[in-house]
Amino acid sequence: MTITKKFILFSLLGIVFIGISLPFGIYFESFILYNTVLLLFTILDYFITPIKDSFEVERMGDHKLSLFEEESISIRIYNKSKLPAVIEVLHEFPGTFICKNNSQLERINPYSSCLFTFMITSNKRGAFLFDEIYIRRKGRLGLVKKDLLIKNSQEYKVYPSLKNLKKYHIMLKKDYFIHSGNKVIKRKSDGREFESLREYVRGDDIRKINWVKTARENKLMVNQYEPENNKHIYILLDTGRTMSYRVNAYSKLDLAINASVFLSDVVCYNKDQSGLMVFNTKVDAFVKPSKGNHHRNTILEALYHVEGTRLTSNYDEVLFYLNSKEKRRSLICIFTDMDTLQEVYYIEKGLEYITQKHEVILFLVKDEKLDKAIQIKINNQKDAFVKGMGYKMKNERKKIIKTIHRKGVTCIECDKEDIIYQAVNGYMRIKNKDAI
């Protein structure tokens, strides 16, 4: 129980009342009388204000949240009593959540309900338990507030940024990514299985002209073919030391996970099958290639709780493991990062082995701090050292990419804004080449 502003106001009025009684010499009696009456009314207010078993509390809305996106968490409270209730709801969230309004006050009429909505933002993926809800009811006389702690446990899962993924889907259907100004490579319709006939347009391959149909229609007609589908596209996600570095609010791992989820969706959209492997010193998760809504949920469940480590990943073991699992020629998309040329030698043996059978693309996340270090103005010895180290690390990065290319592996360095675009285009280039 807590007191209200109204109680404090009456207490202050008591001082005035006692002050008036001073000339009459009965200030002590007035003090006792006034405070006794105020106390009696306070006790009365407490007992005539029901709270226990007077409300039904229910959590509303989706229990799937998006990383770094502002989401709404709603609590519906139903007033079962015959009396109107002024209710304050206080909700405590786990430390990884930021809430702008964790306290709300509303009036609920008898046999009516009210929705209390809290806007929260999570800065970490994973599963979190929302447990206790505090309800504070204002007394009927307005002198006290009665508190009630309600145990209402519900697990909420924070996934990669699903809202952004929906935005990218819309952009993909329009054949371009508006935010980056980069065209998305379209899927060619070349294939082996006949699909339909259409009128010839400039630029079509003349070898596809259907001369029999052209003679009948008295205009050039060309054959269209279904592209080959059901290709296996594996997404390999490195959770090792280099992926734990941050690019603004996101870690490189978070950016790679967002790109992995979207790439998996695009693969299924193109009627291919996506597989997933999460690895560090060993294979931590493996999802066989498939497609459909159930498969998408499987991918999300495998990724939402993935956390980075400070360990160097064992590429050879992972690539040998994948090669033993997959017998068909497939595309392997690896989201990873490397600091030094020495780390390329760690992956060299595994890459040489797996490229004999599969197409491989490595996606590296660019470190924006290097560009800032290179552009720094030199005002002192420290600035000169930082700029020099920036150039040294930038040159090391170029050597890393060139060395990987010499191994016959496509290596793409991505900005945080275009990693999804680069992942989609990398996949589409290989598909259009019929390399798998």
Say if residue 25 is in the same domain as residue 77: no
Say if residue 286 is in the same domain as residue 395: yes
Say if residue 354 is in the same domain as residue 275: yes
Say if residue 280 is in the same domain as residue 382: yes
Report the distance separating Cα 103 and Cα 410, nearest Å: 53
- Boundaries of domain holding 12: 2-47
CATH number of residue 392's parent domain: 3.40.50.410
Strand partners, 77: 57, 114
Say if residue 248 is in the same domain as residue 272: yes
Say if residue 144 is in the same domain as residue 174: no
Q: 219-226 — which CB contacts under 8 Å span 24+ positions?
A: 221/197, 222/197, 222/198, 223/194, 223/197, 224/189, 224/194, 224/195, 224/196, 224/197, 224/198, 225/189, 225/190, 225/191, 225/192, 225/193, 225/194, 225/195, 226/189, 226/191, 226/192, 226/193, 226/194, 226/195
Say if residue 25 is in the same domain as residue 97: no
Say if residue 136 is in the same domain as residue 115: yes
Say if residue 107 is in the same domain as residue 95: yes
What's the pTM value of the predicted model, to 2 decimals?
0.74
Amino acid 78: pLDDT: 92
Amino acid 177: pLDDT: 45
Say if residue 243 is in the same domain as residue 219: no
Q: How many CB atoms lie within 10 A of CB 428?
A: 17
Amino acid 186: pLDDT: 55
Say if residue 422 is in the same domain as residue 288: yes
Say if residue 174 is in the same domain as residue 289: yes
Each residue's pLDDT, cut to its tens digit, for the chain (436 residues) gives 788 888 888 888 888 877 777 777 777 888 888 889 889 998 998 888 888 888 888 888 888 888 888 888 899 999 988 888 899 898 888 888 888 888 888 899 999 999 999 999 988 888 898 888 888 888 888 888 888 888 888 889 888 876 666 666 666 655 544 334 455 555 555 555 556 788 888 777 787 888 888 888 888 888 876 666 789 999 999 999 889 888 777 789 999 998 999 899 889 888 899 999 999 999 999 999 999 889 988 998 999 889 889 898 888 889 989 988 898 899 999 999 988 888 888 888 888 888 989 999 999 988 878 888 888 888 888 888 888 888 888 898 899 999 999 888 999 999 887 888 899 889 988 887 777 7
Amino acid 195: pLDDT: 65
Question: C-alpha 111: how far from its chain's center?
Answer: 39
Q: Are strands 70-79 and 55-60 parallel, antiparallel or unpaired?
A: antiparallel
Please tell me the total count of domains within the chain: 4
Strand partners, 135: 89, 148
Please report, in angstroms and rounded to a whole number, the separation of the first and last CA atoms in the chain. Answer: 70
Amino acid 180: pLDDT: 44
Amino acid 163: pLDDT: 67
CATH number of residue 112's parent domain: 2.60.40.10
Last residue of a domain, one of 11, 28, 47: 47
Amino acid at 223: N
Amino acid 359: pLDDT: 93
10 Å CB burial of residue 212 (0-12, 13-18, 19+) is exposed
